[in-house]
Amino acid sequence: MKVASYYIGIMSGTSLDGIDAVLADFNSSPPSLLHTFYLSYDEDLRKRLLDLHHSGHDELHRAAMLGNELAHRYAEAVAGLLDESGITSREIVAIGCHGQTVRHCPQTGRGYTIQLYNPALLVELTGITVVADFRSRDIAAGGQGAPLVPAFHQVLYRDTGIHRVIVNIGGICNLTSLAPDSEVAGFDCGPGNMMMDAWCLRHTGNAYDKNGAWAESGKVDPALLEKLLALQFFSLPPAKSAGRELFNLPWLESCLSGDEKPADVQSTLLQLTVAAIAESVVSYFPGAAEIYLCGGGARNSALVARLRTALPDKTVELTDRLGIDADWLEAFAFAWLARQVISGLPGSLPAVTGARGARLLGAIYPV
């Protein structure tokens, strides 16, 4: 009789919408996603997190206090997940907690990354071993520290006869190429929901543009799209990763004339995400036959429709078709990354991040 190998994965991404928590069992092959739990961020917390993306008064204290607050919220998500699943904390091997990224500057020679959390406090609140700080070791080894999910995509979705690309559309968008006859490849290709969400909030008061309806009410501005795509990041070869340091409202405003209609800007931002994905697939993975989408952006029906138009010779579907709900795949990946650390196995792919070699990612905070 097999002993359950339960892990929890926690992800709160650059979209700043809330906390995804999943319960996974790694005794099966492929591993099983057993239960999920979502805890949303309120507007005050979202604002305070956004404020920390820029230098400001007493930011070290504010960051520490937010780390403590997030630990309590992560613990609340864990409690909700366990309550709904009927599994006790004693049965969980470890929690993989990515934390909330507020800085990501992986440039070689001065690279660093900052995620807010307090793993030690999370251990005390949950009574479960916590694995955290997944990016730092890869950056120390000369890598980008992101994306980290391609290694897990390989475990779930590699097929011996089909070239697949997994596209994770969160705040930032990243791609994973799973070709049958070559090593796994992947990189951040540009903004996912981040710019659309910020512009939508500013002009409508809504945190996001549901199904891209507002974007569809406007028209793509070709001149603006050209200016946005002129950012050097888009022409850089992999390995590369990105965050709010690159993609933010001041950057967008620097590309605006001031005469644009807000809905047209939103439509153009949606097209920017589509163009970044499509051009990356065509340039780097032209042989891909199947494209599978995950992350919050996979639920944007306008984005999906435009992506299908941009890649007419490829099948474009959600990872739901492969058995894992698109909303939970990234949190699932951090449960797997925690298991890799606990098992003493590397979790990184140097071909993806550009690091000098595979590394054991994450620091363990024992119960």
pLDDT mean over 83-112: 92
Q: Give residue-wise pLDDT tens across range 52-86.
A: 988 889 999 999 999 999 999 999 999 999 999 99
Q: 1 pLDDT exceeds 50?
A: no
- Give Cβ neighbours of residue 290 (< 8 Å, ≥ 6 apart): 162, 163, 164, 165, 314, 315, 317
Q: What is the pLDDT of residue 53?
A: 85
- Listed in sequence order, the residues at least 6 apart from 363 whose beta carbon sits closer than 8 Å to its beta carbon are 119, 131, 132, 133
Phi then psi dihedrals of residue 352, to 5 deg: -90, -50
| CA distances to 5, 235, 349, 358 from 239, in Å | 33, 12, 11, 14
**Which residue ranges make up each domain of the chain?**
6-145+328-365, 150-322
Q: Which residues contact 329 (CB under 8 A, 6 or more apart)?
A: 149, 168, 294, 295, 319
Q: Which residue has the higher pLDDT, 212 or 30?
A: 212
Residue 135 pLDDT: 96
> Do 239 and 138 form a contact (C-beta atoms < 8 A)?
no
For residue 363, with 0-12 CB atoms within 10 Å meaning exposed, 13-18 middle and 19 or more buried, which class applies? middle
CATH topology assigned to domain 6-145+328-365: Nucleotidyltransferase; domain 5 (3.30.420)
pLDDT band at 29 (very low <50, low <70, confident <90, very high): confident
4-22 mean pLDDT = 91
Is the pTM for the entire model greater than 0.85?
A: yes
Q: Please give the C-alpha separations between residue 307 and each of 54, 163, 198, 252, 316, in angstroms, as whole numbers.
A: 33, 18, 21, 22, 8
Domain 150-322 in CATH 3.30.230.10: no
Mean pLDDT of 290-297: 97
Q: Is cis: bond before 222, omega within 30 of 0?
A: no
Same fold flag, 6-145+328-365 and 150-322? yes
Q: What is the arithmetic mean of pLDDT over 219-239?
A: 97
109 pLDDT tier (thresholds 50, 70, 90): low
Model confidence over 129-185: pLDDT tens digits? 999 999 999 999 999 999 999 999 999 999 999 999 999 999 999 999 999 999 999
